[in-house]
């Protein structure tokens, strides 16, 4: 007799979803090098002074690991289990010890006021509820702790690119594992309740998702 879990695992919807997650993990592993050529210098500067406990949400296949100091205590919250093997291989290649946990950005598997720095790159575009995610980040950060982010965001209202982002959003969410190309992420950050937030905009010169922000928010 099959268990409920076995029935779910063998259902067409579950198989399709699992294949999608596996394919997205493979796609991220292939494309991360190209993206890093665009933002590598910015990452190097942003992550230069990390220390203590660093929690990265949605680390996917580990493209940020080479930019981190070797002596940090790294914790990764990655909901897609098919990313984990890529992460482990990247960590082994770099000689890093990592603490990899399954979870999601709205419920971070970490104690309150326990993390020195939270890192997010290209994650806030795809979380189901960005406000809940930012509150979870604030919860786990120590007083004075920092949230470092690089995110693609919506183009200015009224521009042709913004209209294109909005038009393509339903399809983009499916092929991009929930990514919203027209999310006004900076507004959510400004309203989250951080003591201080500093960010700048830059053009990553990419199709659809060229507008980016990079910055630091302090608890």
Share of the chain above pLDDT 70, in %: 85
Q: Which residues contact 11 (CB under 8 A, 6 or more apart)?
A: none
Beta bridge partners of 107: 104
Residue 2 scores a pLDDT above 90: no
51-92 per-position pLDDT tens digit: 999 999 999 889 999 999 989 999 999 888 878 888 899 899
* CATH fold for the domain made of 4-218: Rossmann fold (3.40.50)
CA distance 104 to 189: 18
Note the pTM of the prediction, 2 decimals: 0.85
């Amino acid at each position: 007799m099959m268990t409920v879990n076995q029935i779910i695992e063998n259902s067409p919807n579950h198989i399709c979803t699992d294949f999608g997650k596996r394919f997205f993990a493979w796609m991220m592993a292939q494309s991360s090098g190209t993206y890093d050529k665009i933002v590598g210098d910015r990452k190097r500067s942003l992550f230069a002074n990390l220390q203590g406990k660093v929690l990265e949400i949605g680390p996917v296949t580990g493209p940020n690991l080479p930019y981190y100091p070797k002596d940090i205590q790294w914790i990764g919250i990655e909901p897609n289990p098919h990313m984990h093997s890529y992460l482990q291989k990247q960590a082994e290649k770099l000689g890093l010890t990592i603490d990899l946990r399954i979870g999601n950005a709205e419920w971070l598997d970490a104690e309150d006021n326990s993390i020195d720095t939270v890192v997010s790159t290209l994650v806030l575009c795809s979380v189901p509820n960005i406000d809940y995610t930012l509150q979870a980040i604030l919860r786990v950060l120590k007083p004075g702790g920092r949230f470092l982010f690089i995110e693609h965001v919506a183009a200015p209202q009224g521009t042709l690119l913004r209209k294109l982002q909005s038009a393509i959003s339903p399809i983009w969410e499916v092929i991009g594992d929930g990514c919203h190309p027209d999310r006004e992420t900076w507004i959510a950050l400004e309203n989250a309740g951080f003591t201080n937030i500093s960010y700048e905009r830059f053009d990553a010169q990419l199709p659809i998702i060229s507008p980016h922000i990079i910055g630091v928010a302090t608890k």
